[in-house]
Structure 1
Amino acid sequence: MTHFPSPCRVRDHPGRALLVLPPEIDLSNAPALRAGVLAFAAARAGRLDVLVLDLTRTRTRFMDSQGARLVEDVRHGLPPGVLLRVVARPDGVPYRVLEVTGVRRDVPVHDDLSGASPERAGHRTRDGLSRRRAFGPGRRLGSGYGTRHRDQHPRLAG
């Protein structure tokens, strides 16, 4: 089992994993969290479809730019095919940090765990759910804040 800095908690399910992050994420613990999360995902490569970082269970009350960097580094460091989701309260500091830094444009941020589940996101999981086509009719480009409909994108319209 991968060791995480306390109080990070792990819930490992077939095809998906939930990592509950600590109440404060800053320079003192972000590098260890990053290494732990990436080691966790690498150990499950080929068996993991969705990784959810939960910032609500411990009510993460402080997160600076190191937390945003943690999310971006995890997104880039995940094994191919693994999707990243973040759960953060809309009225909380982590949500605002992710929005101000632009991370929300690249990583889906959900208000609760039910929105972050792969079944709700429409992605195929190991239990056979279908994956949405990325640029099918009426699909949106990107995710979350700042997305454009396919017909509004200059290179894809027409």
Structure 2
Amino acid sequence: MCEAGEKDLYAVLGASPSDSVQQLRHRYQKLALQCHPDHLGDVCDSGAEMFLEIDAAWKILCEHDARSQYDQQRRARELKQDWPVDCLISLEDMTCDPGECVYTYCCRCGGHFSLTEEEMKWRQENDDEDKTNESQHVVLCCDTCSLSIYVKLSLTNKNKVSM
């Protein structure tokens, strides 16, 4: 789960829901030291953003009531989905192979998610959703494991399908 609606706070800390508060604190402190703006200086803006994400995740997961509420919301989201979704990515995150007319994305198992130009054209032609939406999500399945990803196709991408 990477970003289906919002990021998984446990994944932000590199932890699991079964981890104790002490284990979460240890992971938070380790990541905070690596990404703290004072440590990185002005070299990397993404480090400051990452630090803010880590800090926000810690603030929710370290407090018992907030963590319980987050766990309930997380579980409710998991029960609503029909397949294991690993993350939400945009089409720009995928690698484009113009020769093969296919977009690919590597799965953590070593397999691949792929979206061909023909599939994108078919999805555009058979799109029953309101055309005023800013984006459309496509679910892709890994070719070797059971994971799936959501791929966000923006309207600007939908107009640039030809490779």
Alignment TM-score > 0.5, same fold: no
TM-score range (shorter-chain normalised) is under 0.3
TM-score (norm 2): 0.25
**Which entry has the higher C-alpha Rg, 1 or 2?**
2
